[in-house]
């Protein structure tokens, strides 16, 4: 256990945001889900008791009929904003006094940093380079992430959960987002920052960053395992496997979104375009963890090899 190495990584000034992220993201996830579960309990009560549903104000917040529905922005909101601004300023000033921004040696193209890392918020993408070729990890995936985020409001056919925390009414969409944001995006950033060392090799927290470390792992391609030699056969085989994956994944997603009667009701509201868009993005998103497992557990580099691109 090399505690000094661990401290060096954690206390690197540019890594501090990730260490913060390690606490902030779980905290706010808990904070949101706690409110979601509180709301869900009320929803259950209201569903069980239609008479109550007719008269209830349908919030967990305290309520009295004689209270006015709205309050003045001045002072009730502005004082909060003012306080928030002061608190943020204090945090920022204290942070800036106690911790110096990193400044290393002057840029030197002849002296490569090892590991040379992107800014921490792009480390998820850099970590993806392990599993995909750069055109996929650096260009296609980011574009799909941006596009996928943008289409969310247009493919979510569920009208429930608009403007309040809930888990029960939006299980599928919330789990998808938690999976994408926490499991894929945040944890890949954490891996890229805290785990990846020289040569972008995997160092568990506490392991010494050994610059001379060698890893005797031979990366294989899926067609090689099946003993396929010719280029054309490799292309055809890879295309077949990828298509097979897409179909299997599509069926899995379909099963998932038509599991309960409520899910089927929402599914019935989706247009064909919405459904296809959702499937395309889901299949691509799930391809990432699949590829991670293939690479880390089975040391498979490429599934589909063609003269123009490899996946």
Partner 1 sequence: MSEVNGKNGSASSGNGAGSEQPNGGKTRIAALVEDSKVIRDRAIEEIKALKQPEKTDLWKSILRVKHDETPRSRALGVLSNVFLHLHPAKINRDAVAYNYTWGMGGISFYVYITLVFSGTLLMFYYHPSKVVAFRDILYLEHDVPFGKLLRNMHRWGAHMMVITVWLHMFRVYLTGSYKKPREFNWVVGVILLVLTLLLSFTGYLLPDDQLGFWAVTVGTNMARATPLLGHDGPLGTQLGMTPFNDVRFGLLGGSIVDSNALLRAYIWHCVAIPIIISAFMVVHFWRVRKDGGISGPSPMMLASEIKEPRKF
Return the residues of window 67-86 that contact partner 1 according to CB under 8 A: 67-78, 80-81, 84-85
**Cβ-based nearer residue to partner 1, 201 or 250:** 201
Nearest Cα residue to 200 out of 279, 115, 273: 115
Q: Decide if residue 58 touches partner 1 (CB under 8 A).
A: yes
Return the range that interacts with partner 1 (CB under 8 A); candidates 150-158, 190-198, 224-232, 294-302.
Answer: 150-158
Among 8, 11, 41, 59, binds partner 1 (CB under 8 A): 59
Binding of residue 163 to partner 1 (CB under 8 A): yes
Q: Which of 9, 130, 174, 253 binds partner 1 (CB under 8 A)?
A: 174
- The rounded distance, in Å, linking the Cα atoms of 62 and 59 is 8
CB of 251 to partner 1, least distance (A): 25
In sequence order, what are the residues at sequence separation of 6 or more whose Cβ sits closer than 8 angstroms to the Cβ of residue 170? 158, 160, 161
92-to-20, 97, 138, 152 alpha-carbon distances in Å:
14, 9, 32, 33
Separation of alpha carbons 151 and 86, rounded Å:
36
CA 109-115-121 angle, 5° bins:
100
User: In this structure, are residues 184 and 288 in contact, taking their beta carbons and an 8 Å threshold?
Assistant: yes
Q: Please, which of residues 104-123 interact with partner 1 by CB under 8 A?
A: 104-109, 111-113, 116-122
* Dihedral angle sign, alpha carbons of residues 178, 183, 189, 194: positive
Which of 7, 30, 31, 37 is close enough to bind partner 1 by CB under 8 A?
31
Q: Is 23 in the site for partner 1 (CB under 8 A)?
A: no
Q: What is the contact mask toward partner 1 in residues 272 to 311, using x (rule: CB under 8 A)? A: ------------------------------------xx--
- Please work out the total of residues on this chain that contact partner 1, with binding judged by CB under 8 A: 104
């Amino acid at each position: 256990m090399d505690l000094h190495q661990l401290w060096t990584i954690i206390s690197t000034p540019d890594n501090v945001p990730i260490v913060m992220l390690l606490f902030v993201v779980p905290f706010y996830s808990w904070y949101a889900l706690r409110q979601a579960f509180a709301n869900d309990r009320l929803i259950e009560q209201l569903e069980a008791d239609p008479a109550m549903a007719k008269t209830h104000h349908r919030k967990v917040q305290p309520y009295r009929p004689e209270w006015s529905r709205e309050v003045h922005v001045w002072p009730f909101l502005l004082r909060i904003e003012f306080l928030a601004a002061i608190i943020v300023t204090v945090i920022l000033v204290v942070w800036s006094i106690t911790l110096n921004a990193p400044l290393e040696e002057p840029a030197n193209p002849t002296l490569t940093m090892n590991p040379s890392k992107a800014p921490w918020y792009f480390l998820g993408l850099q970590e993806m380079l392990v599993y995909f070729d750069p055109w996929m990890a650096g260009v296609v995936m980011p574009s799909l992430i941006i596009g996928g985020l943008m289409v969310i409001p247009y493919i979510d056919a569920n009208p429930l959960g608009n403007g309040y925390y809930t888990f029960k009414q939006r299980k599928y969409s919330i789990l998808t987002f938690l999976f994408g944001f926490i499991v894929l995006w945040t944890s890949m950033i954490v891996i890229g920052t805290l785990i990846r060392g020289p040569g972008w090799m995997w160092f568990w927290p506490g392991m010494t960053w050994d610059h001379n470390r060698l890893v005797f792992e031979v990366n294989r391609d899926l067609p090689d395992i099946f003993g396929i030699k010719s280029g054309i056969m490799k292309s055809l085989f890879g295309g077949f496997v990828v298509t097979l994956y897409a179909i299997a994944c599509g069926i899995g997603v379909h099963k998932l979104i038509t599991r309960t009667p409520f899910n089927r009701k929402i599914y019935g509201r989706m247009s064909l375009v919405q459904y296809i868009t959702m499937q395309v993005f889901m299949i691509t998103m799930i391809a990432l963890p699949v590829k991670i497992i293939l690479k880390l557990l089975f040391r498979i580099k490429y599934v589909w090899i063609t003269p123009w691109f490899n996946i």
